[in-house]
Amino acid sequence: MGISEYFRVFGFAFVKTRFRRHIAGVRMFAFPYPLLLLAIWTGWLVIGDYVVLDSSVRQVLARGYDTTEGEIMRSQLGRGAFRRRGLDVGYSYSVNGLDYTGLRYRYDDRNGAFNYKSVTRAFPPGSTRTVYYNPANPADALLAPGLNGCDLLLALFAMPLNVATFMVWVAAFRSGRRRNGVAPAGGVRIFQHEGETRVRLACFSPLAAGFFGLAVAAIAAAMAIVFAAGFEPSLRLMSAVLILVVAAGMAAFLWTAQRHHSGRYDLRIHEPSQTLLLPPAGGRKEPWRVPRCEIVAVSMHRRVSHSPSGQHFSYVPALDCAAPNAERQFLPLLNWGWTEAKASAFAGWFSQQLGVPFKGIEEETQGASPLLHR
């Protein structure tokens, strides 16, 4: 082999090896990429929340500031990077014989949601207006203390964003825990009573339902307010709306908690009567009682959903039943599918409890009746 041929072969092998290592590294670190994007989004969201909260708290505290008279020297729309934004205001005032110059209308003068044209008309140059200043630091002053409807509207817009981000982090945390090992019975809650085993199969916890209700109510209320009153609703209106939104979240929490406490979402294995009471799922509107002698096996039915990013699979534990003189049917135990690992762990535990085989994964048949015909 000549020198040129040697370098050609060696160079090709070196590049191929480096490429394979790069691909392996990409595969190894592919999962953290979405978490990195989520972390970046969360960082921006936390910064925005802090700015809104900090300015709102300062606005409330400013209501207790001392006051003096000041002369408006300048009042015009501010300038942003691409367009006019915010308010450019200047005024002079005196405290204890010392002259000060104020440059703040509110603590959030750059908020683009306010209609500052009306402010420039209400504070023309040369006019005298009340100035609110911090007695501990007279240079800290403003012209409009307290909250207004726009402040609460921003909080209303932030609610669903914060709730959605929090729930995504919870899902990511639980996904990480599942990769470290599957809990017994898939991690579902199991309660032992006299002669009865209860398995909670609810899709949502009361806390998740409360957050979901809060987010949905906030989105609906924000859209209605912007459509009806624009971005400057009254403080009284926004106070009432926020109370209603929080009440909606509390109502969703209490309603779900009551249904959990009543056992509506529980799968009940009743030993004395040798029956199972299945929770409403798979088209069943009410709990469904099944004799254990009719249960043939436990299986997992795979659901396929399609989206622009590809196919997604979820798995629903189900009972295969054969009633006398009736066609063999399956009874799904959930409305929402689980991950394969969780569904498999639960189905395996359930089959052992019933003493029937675990058939494994089956494709869900479209259009099949989920109810047991008698």
77 lies in some domain = yes
CB 23 within 8 A of CB 15: no
**Do 230 and 295 belong together in one domain?**
no
**Do 134 and 216 belong together in one domain?**
no
* Rg of the chain over all Cα atoms, to the nearest angstrom: 32
**Do 162 and 125 belong together in one domain?**
no
Which of the listed residues 227, 262, 297 is the one where a domain comes to its end? 262
212 lies in some domain = yes
336 lies in some domain = yes
Task: Check residue 140 and give its pLDDT.
Answer: 96
Positions of the chain with pLDDT under 50: 1, 3-31, 367-374
CATH of the domain at 66: 2.40.50
Domain span holding position 100: 53-145
323 CB-side CA count, 13 A: 12
Calpha distance 339→123 (Å, rounded) = 61
The count of other CB atoms within 10 Å of the CB of residue 206 is 18
Nearest Cα residue to 143 out of 201, 180, 88: 88
Q: Please, what is the end-to-end C-alpha distance for the chain in angstroms? A: 81
Helix (H, G, I), strand (E, B) or coil at 361: strand
Which of the listed residues 145, 169, 185 is the one where a domain comes to its end? 145
Task: Check residue 237 and give its pLDDT.
Answer: 94
Task: Check residue 305 and give its pLDDT.
Answer: 81
Task: Check residue 161 and give its pLDDT.
Answer: 95
**Do 221 and 120 belong together in one domain?**
no
**Do 121 and 156 belong together in one domain?**
no
Per the prediction, the chain carries an average pLDDT of 83
Q: pLDDT tens digit string along 229-263?
A: 888 899 999 999 999 999 999 999 999 999 888 88
Task: Check residue 364 and give its pLDDT.
Answer: 67
237 lies in some domain = yes
pTM, to two decimals: 0.73
Task: Check residue 24 and give its pLDDT.
Answer: 38
Give me the number of domains the chain comprises: 3
At 154, list the tokens: 């921003």
Instruction: Give the chain's length.
Output: 374
Helix (H, G, I), strand (E, B) or coil at 50: helix
Task: Check residue 10 and give its pLDDT.
Answer: 42
Question: Residues near 355 by Cβ (< 8 Å), separated by ≥ 6?
Answer: none
Task: Check residue 81 and give its pLDDT.
Answer: 57
Task: Check residue 135 and give its pLDDT.
Answer: 95
